[in-house]
Amino acid sequence: MIGYAENQGKGAALKTAYSFLYREILKIGGVSLLSFGIGYTLYGLQH
């Protein structure tokens, strides 16, 4: 049972790391998508 508990801890740590990375990627992706959208709109208005 001790080994099982250790594995649970590792899994939780991995999940935390993954969710943190996922949020960071979403944040960066969201910002770049937003700036792309704004740039595209401005470009569309000029032409």
- What average pLDDT does this structure show over 5-22? 86
**pTM (2 d.p.):** 0.51
Which runs of consecutive H residues, i.e. helices, occur in the chain? Answer: 2-46
- Confidence at residue 11, expressed as pLDDT on a 0 to 100 scale: 86
Secondary structure (3-state) at 2: helix
Place of tokens 């939780």: 12
Q: What are the pLDDT digits (tens) for 16-45?
A: 999 999 999 999 999 999 999 999 999 999
